[in-house]
Amino acid sequence: MADHATAVDVYRPLDEAEITQKHWLTVITAGMGFFTDAYDLFIIGTVTVLLTPIFHLNTGQISLLNSISLLASVFGALVFGRLMDRLGRKRVYGLEVALLSLGAVLSGLSWSFTSLLIFRIVVGIGVGGDYATSAVITAEYANRKSRGRLVGSVFAMQGLGLIAGPAIASIFLGAGVSDHIAWRVMLALGAIPAISVVYLRRRIKETPRYRLAVQGDLAGATDAVSWTLGAHGTPASAGGDGAQAPAHDTVASREPRSVFSQLRRAPFLLRLAGTAGSWFLLDVAFYGNSVSSPLILKQLEPKGTLLAHTLTSLAIFAIAAFPGYWVAVMLLDRIGRKRIQWQGFLVMAIAFGAIGLIPGVAQDTAPFLILFAISYFFIEFGPNMTTFVYPSEVYPTAVRGIGDGISAGSGKFGAFLGALLVPHLLKSIGISGVMEIMAVVSVIGVALTLIALPEPMGKTLEESSHDTPAVVPLPAGAAAAASPAVGVGSRA
């Protein structure tokens, strides 16, 4: 429609561009946070083993320490997701990793179970905020054909964090460093990568989509596109002369609606069930197994040392999980998010089901580790990647932050339940019982993906999110510099 012409032109250079240095700067800036998120969330499993005799921890306290950051991240995701929509992406970006860094340093200085629990809550709030902010910002700056690869690359940095945790723990354990020192350094090290990107995050410009669709700032939107793409990124006006609105010109932002009234509209309520529900199911299995992997391996090999179990975890992460992330990154824009997600859940169900139902597998180290590694590969080349990418693509700009925040918060609540309950379940029903539960969870994930989620591959954000806000005219003084009317958002 002609009424939408200028808005389409504002976004089109960004949608159709090749990947630029600014794209990769955004990815690296966001990705370093996810490296830290993974390190901080998973190192606690090894730390609690070291702390058990030092703080005299019981099973309930171990479970709580392993899971409290995940529960706190639910709050962080919801709060930062909402703030992104209310205040803008730029105004909150960087605050979450600063909070994460503070929590990591304080965790290393803890003097009791209670103090460590409190500081892990601070870490969790920062982690949740990072999940909500990084995907949205990367997606809103990404081009159309490579959006999956760019957003996925941010999340794939989690794979490095998964490897770094057990690798660093193995170095300390192998070097014979005192347990009283090792656990403190392991926790405090999580602050370093996050601190390194606080400044870069604060320097990133507000995204062009938020500028135009929410703030009604055409000049700000075109400036953000030009910042990303360089000299070739100045959006053309509807008249095709390459002009853009003067810096003082704006267009009216969309009429505000309540968040929940927008998310209750078709098709977003079903999508919310899909993005939040599948992330919840994935994280029950992923975090339940990953955070408790030292306990699972101890039950599998009771005579093994903590160092041996940590090295086994490192091998699984390095050989199976890490490649899975990058295979997903390569294929997100080729075979699509939906296929990667449902087939990942399906293979997880088969692997977990085999461990739980085939006699002897849960007690035999070799077949257990092979199936466990297969499950990890398809977790990463599967729903662990896609549940992060999906929410940044399928909600309108005005509620993209909270849609992502609700989805991430739901996932982290599932992670909390998995990390909290698996230690108890291992004692009561053993490895076989735990894996049978995870298989059922994965089957539900297959069904939910097929029923509730669309395929956004190859579409613009406006097309994949049905972002069709009201059309309003430019002020009279801007008509000569831009088009007669601007759609606040984009084409239908």
CATH number, position 399: 1.20.1250.20
Most confident of 14-23, 109-118, 417-426: 109-118
Report if residue 293 sits inside a domain. yes
Report if residue 469 sits inside a domain. no
pLDDT tens digits, 423-469: 888 888 988 898 999 999 999 999 999 999 999 999 999 999 887 54
DSSP string of 423-485, one letter each residue: HHHHHHHHHHHHHHHHHHHHHHHHHHHHHH----TTS-HHHHHT----EEEPPGGGTTTS-SE
Report if residue 335 sits inside a domain. yes
Mean of pLDDT values over 85-98? 90
pLDDT tens digits, 172-216: 888 888 888 989 999 998 888 888 888 888 888 899 999 988 888
Which helix H or strand E contains 380, and what residues bound it? helix 365-380
Supply angle C-alpha 100, 311, 431, rounded to 5.
90
Supply angle C-alpha 442, 37, 373, rounded to 5.
40
- pLDDT confidence of residue 382: 96
State how far the Cα of 317 lies from the Cα of 166, in Å rounded to an integer.
Answer: 9
- Residue 471 backbone dihedrals phi, psi, to 5 degrees: -100, 130
Report if residue 181 sits inside a domain. yes
Instruction: Please answer whether residues 337 and 455 qualify as being in contact, where contact means their C-beta atoms are separated by less than 8 angstroms.
Output: yes
- pLDDT confidence of residue 194: 82
State how far the Cα of 452 lies from the Cα of 445, in Å rounded to an integer.
Answer: 10
State how far the Cα of 160 lies from the Cα of 155, in Å rounded to an integer.
Answer: 10
- Which residue would you say has higher pLDDT here, 1 or 170? 170
Share of the chain above pLDDT 90, in %: 41
Q: Which domain holds residue 185?
A: 2-232+259-454
Mean of pLDDT values over 29-46? 84
The pTM assigned to this predicted structure is 0.83
- Residue 490 binned pLDDT confidence (cut-offs 50, 70, 90): very low
- Residue 384 binned pLDDT confidence (cut-offs 50, 70, 90): very high
pLDDT tens digits, 95-151: 998 999 999 999 999 999 999 999 999 999 999 999 889 999 999 999 999 999 999
Tokens describing residue 11: 């976004």
State how far the Cα of 455 lies from the Cα of 147, in Å rounded to an integer.
Answer: 13
Mean of pLDDT values over 156-185? 86
- pLDDT confidence of residue 108: 92
Instruction: Please answer whether residues 199 and 28 qualify as being in contact, where contact means their C-beta atoms are separated by less than 8 angstroms.
Output: no
- Residue 291 binned pLDDT confidence (cut-offs 50, 70, 90): low
**pLDDT of 1 over the 70 cut:** no
- pLDDT confidence of residue 257: 58
- pLDDT confidence of residue 482: 40
Q: How many domains does the chain have?
A: 1
State how far the Cα of 492 lies from the Cα of 8, in Å rounded to an integer.
Answer: 10
- Residue 483 binned pLDDT confidence (cut-offs 50, 70, 90): very low
- Residue 126 burial by Cβ neighbours in a 10 Å radius (0-12, 13-18, 19+): buried
